[in-house]
Structure 1
Amino acid sequence: MSGTNRTQPPVTGGPRIILIEPQLAENIGATARAMLNCGLTDLAIVNPLQEFPHGRAVAMASGATEVLDKAQLYDSVEDAIAGLNRVYATTARPRELTVRVTTPRRAASELRTAWQAGDAIGVMFGSERSGMTNEHIALADTLISIPLNPAYSSLNLAQAVLLVAYEWFTTADETPAEQFVEPDTGPATKAELQAFFDRFESALDTGGFFRTPEMRPAMVRNLRAMLQRGNLTEQEVRTLHGVVSCLTGSWRETENQKRYREAKES
């Protein structure tokens, strides 16, 4: 899915993402992409099974190479989290330990509060095949459990990172829940609207839309008010002109439209 706008300032800051013994370079690259989607750039990698940097990681990052370029390699989890004040870990609920477990949404809210207070924060992710050991889990302050279909809750490493990173991003995102997206063309000017209204009224007069002269002023006002409420763009006004042309017989078929019509008729 495309949507990158490089004219916008980058979103920065947030938790360090710690990958513990990732098996595939592709998953490291996909993780970098997921991180940058959500404004995260601090990646720590503990004992990757494949060499790093790796060409397949770069390919899977799909442009998020700045995350890979800044990534730090560590020999132990303890070294990767040494400078952090608060650490969360994503894993299945362990049976051998008594630990606090929360959802990604709650964890993101708590991490945002800690980060705003000046704490250095991080989230650990285990290897694709074996997850995290109890020794690694014991290093976390809180565990994150991702609620999914209990009959099939398997996630790719990068998917898990994206779910947690997205919840982090939304804690500061101010995008309205609903909005109208306007096309690239700007709003129509009053002169453009007036020209269309005049032509529209003339076409309605010709077609006998106004039943009596007495009703005409009120009907014209209602039609104008209705069209004004639409906040029409320049392109929309041009489209309406085309509609009037078609209905009044003044529309002229372009060569492309002619070829399209002939192809349909053949």
Structure 2
Amino acid sequence: MSKSNISFILHKPQLSENIGACARAIKNFNFKKLVLINPKPIFPNDKILATSVGAKDIINQSKKYDNLDKALGKIDILIATSARFRNKNIKHINLEDLKKINFKKRVGFLFGSEASGLSNDEVSYANYTLQIPTNPDFKSLNLSHSLIIIAQYVASLLKSKNIPFQKSKKVKSASKKEIQSMLSLCIKNLDEINFFRPKEKRPKMLENLRNIFYKMDLSDKETRILSGVFASLGKKR
């Protein structure tokens, strides 16, 4: 199982020191991929590089995107980290449950900004939400601390090679890119029939749609079938 399949995604990080510390944590456990979405500081900058210490290579080869959609094109399984329980129909897991994740796939761990964490809209892109067990009266963790806890745990799992997962080799799970393409087609058709009413509820309705499709673990074949259905429905009009 390759560590190159695993990405650590920082959504709107605010502090240069945290970005550098996250890069250092990633390299501590021999991971390679750091992804940043709309970082507040100029990236990279001297403070980020200084804080990363010997992990400048992680910074230099990192990817930066303007939004979450673009960042997920090569992610198969997205795990959103959160200190809060979400009242959503999404699978909530803990560190122990990571043993059940198929790390042969491309897995992304999503971390929110230091000030506000992840919104429900951002969590709606995820297959799972992960909560790190902490003092219930003081749950807030520093961004780099959260990342290093998960990085160490996943590294130990990959080293043990005791991940119980069996699935037919003939069944290929749909990538985030394939699901996004299908979902875009669905939304396009819904927009054409003025489905999202009233307009102010559109963002919430889109969030709910993403929650439905991303948690279904669709195969690439199922995604193609649904894309065909949505395309046919559009032609009927």
Listed as ranges, the matches of 1:1-266 within 5 Å are: 12-107=3-98, 109-111=99-101, 114-116=102-104, 119-173=105-159
Select the structure of larger CA radius of gyration.
Answer: 1
Question: 2-side partners of 1:33 and 1:58: how far apart?
Answer: 10
> Aligned with 1:39: secondary structure?
coil
By relative contact order (CA 8 Å, sep 6+), the higher-ranking structure is 2
Question: 1-side partners of 2:86 and 2:60: how far apart?
Answer: 38
Runs of 5+ unmatched residues, structure 1: 1-10, 175-266
Q: Is the 2:3–2:30 contact (alpha carbons within 8 Å) kept by the matching residues of 1? A: yes
> Aligned with 1:60: secondary structure?
helix
Question: 2-side partners of 1:110 and 1:31: how far apart?
Answer: 25
> Aligned with 1:44: secondary structure?
strand
Question: 1-side partners of 2:31 and 2:150: how far apart?
Answer: 11
Residue 16 of structure 1 deviates from its aligned partner by 0.6
Amino acid at match of 2:134: L
Question: 1-side partners of 2:31 and 2:158: how far apart?
Answer: 13
Per-residue CA shift, 1:16-67, capped at 9, x if unaligned?
1100000011100000011111111111100001100011111111101111
Question: 2-side partners of 1:160 and 1:103: how far apart?
Answer: 13
> Aligned with 1:16: secondary structure?
strand
Which runs of 4 or more aligned residues in structure 1 lie more than 6 Å from their structure 2 counterparts after TM superposition?
none
Q: Is the 2:38–2:67 contact (alpha carbons within 8 Å) kept by the matching residues of 1? A: yes
Question: 2-side partners of 1:29 and 1:161: how far apart?
Answer: 12
Identical-residue share of aligned pairs (%): 30
Per-residue CA shift, 1:63-84, capped at 9, x if unaligned?
0111101111101111111211
Q: Is the 1:17–1:43 contact (alpha carbons within 8 Å) kept by the matching residues of 2? A: yes
Question: 2-side partners of 1:101 and 1:12: how far apart?
Answer: 24
Structure-2-length-normalised TM-score:
0.64
Question: 1-side partners of 2:18 and 2:125: how far apart?
Answer: 24
Per-residue CA shift, 1:171-191, capped at 9, x if unaligned?
1335xxxxxxxxxxxxxxxxx
Q: What's the C-alpha RMSD, in Å, of the aligned pairs?
A: 1.5
Q: Is the 2:3–2:31 contact (alpha carbons within 8 Å) kept by the matching residues of 1? A: yes
Worse-superposed segment, 79-88 or 157-166:
79-88
Task: Count matched residues.
Answer: 159
Runs of 5+ unmatched residues, structure 2: 161-237
Worse-superposed segment, 120-129 or 165-174:
165-174
Structure-1-length-normalised TM-score:
0.57
Question: 2-side partners of 1:105 and 1:74: how far apart?
Answer: 31
